């Protein structure tokens, strides 16, 4: 059974950093592309970033380029999102998505002073 | 920058058929854009219904189908059920620099 469990969300001040994690199980993590998708309160879905199976290729939405970094540890079956220089408009539920087919339950990040 | 367009809202009668569409501001949607469709109910994480234009997961109800229609990606619901009332999002692959873009979503009401 596929499980994607995000963690690391919380309340953070503007300009600070946060690292999200997504623990994956139930599939061969190292064989698949992984995505982060976010959803601001009351808004639609926004694709954030994608990483290749071996971590060598990464792509980002323009809105997060240079501030958010996707990475993975295939030994720990874990996906990460390092979030730097956070802004209030980064406030959202962040979802980890396996190959665009399976979604975690999300972790809420609130950027506020 | 390309924008992915969806109908903001649609209404369908129980048992009826409705088609949701997904367009690109820069031109026609093709299979090369690898259209995906997602369903999201209030308070829940999204779930994927259709991948790469018209492929279903084993968990996707048979009443949902994907296609290309008139230069857009389309999601057709045949025989709508009350539980199909939800927000539906499409996702298109754009280019190497910005590989994926969501549409704004369609709020589907079954009434």
Residue B18 CA to residue A16 CA, distance in Å, equals: 46
Overall residue count recorded for chain A in this entry: 113
- pLDDT above 80 (res B98): no
What is the DSSP secondary structure assignment for residue A55, as one 8-state letter?
A: S
Which residues of chain B neighbour A47 with C-beta distances below 8 Å?
A: 91, 100-102
Q: Compute the average pLDDT of residues B42-59.
A: 96
Chain B: give the shortest CA distance to residue A103, in Å: 7
Residue B26 pLDDT grade (very low, low, confident, very high; cuts 50, 70, 90) = confident
Supply A65's token pair: 């380029």
- pLDDT score recorded for residue B99: 84
Phi, psi of A112 (to 5 degrees): -160, 145
Residue B74 pLDDT grade (very low, low, confident, very high; cuts 50, 70, 90) = very high
Residue A41 CA to residue B31 CA, distance in Å, equals: 32
Interval A65-101: pLDDT, tens: 999 999 999 999 999 999 999 999 999 999 999 989 9
Determine the Cα angle at A96 with ends A74 and A93, to 5°. Answer: 145
Which residues of chain B neighbour A50 with C-beta distances below 8 Å?
A: 99-100
DSSP string, B46-102: -EEEEETTTEE-TTS-TTEEEEEETTEEEEEEES--GGG-EEEEEEEE--SSS-EEE
Q: Which residue would you say has higher pLDDT here, B76 or A99?
A: B76
Per the CB < 8 A criterion, the answer to whether B106 and B8 are in contact is yes
Supply A34's token pair: 């992984």
Give, in order, the Cα–Cα distances in Å from B34 to each of A32, A69, B49, B68, B82.
17, 25, 13, 11, 29
Chain B: give the shortest CA distance to residue A3, in Å: 13
Q: Compute the average pLDDT of residues B78-83.
A: 97
Contact B98 A61 (CB under 8 A): yes
Suggest the residue from B100, B101, B106, B107 to mutate for an interface test with chain A (most A CBs closer than 10 A).
B100
Contact B98 A45 (CB under 8 A): no
Q: Which of B99, B100, B102 sits opposite A44 (nearest CB)?
A: B102
Which residues of chain A neighbour B105 with C-beta distances below 8 Å?
A: 44-45
- pLDDT score recorded for residue B95: 76
Q: Give the distance, in angstroms, between the CA of residue B35 and the centroid of all CA atoms in the same chain.
A: 8
Phi, psi of B91 (to 5 degrees): -140, 130
């Amino acid at each position: 059974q596929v499980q994607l469990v995000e963690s690391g969300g919380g309340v953070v001040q503007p300009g600070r950093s946060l690292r999200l994690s997504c623990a994956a199980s139930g599939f061969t993590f190292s064989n698949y592309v992984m995505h982060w998708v976010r959803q601001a309160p009351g808004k639609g879905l926004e694709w954030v970033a994608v990483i290749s199976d071996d971590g060598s290729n990464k792509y980002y939405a323009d809105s997060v380029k240079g501030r958010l970094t996707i990475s993975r540890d295939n030994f720990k079956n874990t996906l990460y999102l390092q979030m730097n220089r956070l802004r209030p408009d980064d406030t959202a539920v962040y979802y980890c998505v396996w190959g665009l087919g399976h979604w975690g339950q999300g972790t809420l990040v609130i950027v506020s002073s | 920058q390309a924008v992915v367009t969806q109908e903001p809202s649609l209404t369908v009668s129980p048992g009826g058929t409705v088609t949701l569409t997904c367009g690109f501001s820069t031109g026609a949607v093709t299979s090369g854009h690898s259209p995906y469709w997602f369903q999201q109910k209030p308070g829940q994480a999204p779930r994927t219904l259709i991948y790469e234009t018209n492929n279903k997961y084993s968990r996707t109800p048979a009443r949902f189908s994907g296609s290309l229609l008139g230069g857009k990606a389309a999601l057709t619901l045949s025989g709508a059920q009350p539980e199909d009332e939800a927000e539906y999002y499409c996702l298109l692959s754009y280019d190497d620099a910005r590989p994926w873009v969501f549409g704004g979503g369609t709020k589907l009401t079954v009434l």
